Amino acid sequence: MAAASPDDEWREEWRASEAERGPIAKRRLEHDERVGRVPCKAKFDVGVDAKGRLVFCTTAAAVTLDGMPVAAETYSSFYPSGRVYQAQLAAAAHEFTLADGRKISCARSYIGLHPDGRLLHCDLAAPITMAPGVRISGGVVFWNDGHVRRGAIDQPLRAGPGTLPAGSVLRWDRSGAVVGGTVKLPAVDLAGVRTTGEFELHANGRLKQAKLAAPARIAGNDLPAWAEVWWRADGTLERARYLKSSGFVQHQEWTDTAHVDYDRSGKVTSSRVEHTGPKAP
């Protein structure tokens, strides 16, 4: 299961430079054109910032940038410094050195770099071991200090409230502690309940948030399958959100979603229903 498709987990690196870049001017190239050190392809857009620095373009030919082979006819983007932010590797495998000195090999894939040129994300050419008994394969995201930030485990791992099966995509903080992830489908038991999809952990390793894969009775409360549930750091039930009812009116869907809060004993302290769509019949 690939874990490194572009998302907000690392777009913060890009957003941090937006103020420095200023407005971006975009134009469609009539002919192949070299913008700075990059050959950009005709009939595709190129973007430059307020100081004329290249922000993005589609490469017209294979080119070596920042010591790595970038494929032809692929979209590339750049930091204000001129360093590559994201690009498509041209080689079947390319070696990168992480900030902690480890060397890893990335497959021909869409890769991302930190502003200092250190590897941010790629698809691994071979599994890597991040700790004894913890091996990562497929897509991976790194913190700027070289620690793994997000990746798919290729063997079961005991973490916090349960054992996560191989194929689960996990997130780690800078210290190497699991802070959340997405469990391998269809479901896994965490903190005594059957869960599916994404989950989060508190700093103490207790379950913070998860989606139920089956109906469950938690702290004396019956909750349906697919309910999103939150727990406090002490393990007590905090709140839940779930679909109460739904239907269609003249081909338009309506939903009623329950939002329930609980005290530490499991007693309901507040409850409301959020309605979306046309008025229910």
Q: Give tens-digit pLDDT for 124-147.
A: 999 998 877 789 999 999 998 999
- Give the pLDDT of residue 74: 96
What tokens were used for 250? 């003249």
Is 1's pLDDT higher than 50? Answer: no
Is 15's pLDDT higher than 70? Answer: yes
Question: Which percentage of the chain shows pLDDT scores above 90?
Answer: 75
Interatomic CA distance for residues 12 and 2, integer angstroms: 20
Ramachandran assignment for 101, one of left (phi > 0), alpha (psi -120 to 50 degrees), beta (any other): left
Is 19's pLDDT higher than 80? Answer: no
- Give the pLDDT of residue 100: 85
- Give the pLDDT of residue 11: 67
Question: Which percentage of the chain shows pLDDT scores above 70?
Answer: 95
pTM of the model as a whole: 0.85
Question: Which residue's entry shows tokens 């005709």?
Answer: 42
What tokens were used for 160? 């916090």
Is 5's pLDDT higher than 70? Answer: no
